[in-house]
Structure 1
Amino acid sequence: MALFGKALLIWLMILLLAIANGILRESVLLIVVVKTAAFIVSGLLLCLCIFIMTYLALPWFGRLPASHYWRIGALWLVLTLAFEFVLGAVIQGHSWAQLSEPYTFKDGNLWTLVLCVTFTSPYLAARLRFKQGSKFL
């Protein structure tokens, strides 16, 4: 399978984890703790899930030049932003003000950090695997 197809499949798995994380936040965290804490825990949990998924998927990609990992991260970032804006604007009919709110860290929302982790995880996870002496990287 081509690198693009593998990257797309991993992003879809990350998307499923993000949806599960949102369900956990809405159905458990917001009931158990205050809104700010729920968003912080949810954001950090999603960052961790993205990084772990990336780390575990690296052997499937094989050894790649660093620039390829940055391209995978950029692809994931673009796909995530496109998904968020299409879902929010087109499907849910949210205004631009509503769509931009998660980028302000309001109420502990760490969405901007999640996007940074999405972009950097392929490269950082590859660096971590390389330092551990993996035969893949």
Structure 2
Amino acid sequence: MLTVIALKALVIWGGILVLAVANGALRESVLVPGIGNPAAFVVSGLLLSALIIGVAYLSLPWLHISRPVHLWAVGLGWLALTLIFEFSFGLWQGQSWPELLEAYTFKGGNIWPVVLVATALAPYIAAQLRGWV
């Protein structure tokens, strides 16, 4: 059963990844030209956090989990996958470690650490919103 949950959680994370890429495209093509870099990063980070929690809310019935330990495991799994993807993709693009770590400093309105916290907490928050916890 845990293998099925893990596979479903991986599929859901793939959907979150697609939303994150679309969110980045929206930020760069619409938000940055319209409201500038710092505000665009804040709006984009809040929007992505809300989208991740929304995906978790919609996917919980399919995941069929409600025990806190499972909710935390899925959230932390999504966080790990996100970090692995983020660092692997950045390194593949030739970015240095200091460049990659700059996203974690809140510099220029970048609230990426908030998005990561939202990612880890999303299944638990979604379960609370559903009244399951």
The TM-score with structure 1 as length reference comes to 0.92
Residue of 75, 78, 82 corresponding to 2:77: 75
Structure 2 distance, partners of 1:62, 1:92, is 37
Matched, 1:20 2:59: no
- Report the count of equivalent residues: 131
Which residue in the other structure is 1:32 paired with?
34
RMSD: 1.2
Which residue in the other structure is 2:120 paired with?
119
State percent identity of aligned pairs. 51
Structure 1 distance, partners of 2:5, 2:65, is 11
Which residue in the other structure is 2:102 paired with?
101
Letter in 1 for 2:50: L
User: Structure 1 residues 4 and 93, CA, compared in 2 at 3 Å: closer, same or farther?
Assistant: same
Residue of 19, 42, 45 corresponding to 1:43: 45
Specify every segment of 5 or more residues in structure 1 that has no aligned partner in the other structure, as ranges. Answer: 132-136
The TM-score with structure 2 as length reference comes to 0.95
Specify every segment of 5 or more residues in structure 2 that has no aligned partner in the other structure, as ranges. Answer: none
Runs of 4+ aligned residues of structure 1 deviating over 3 Å after TM superposition are: none
Structure 2 distance, partners of 1:3, 1:47, is 22
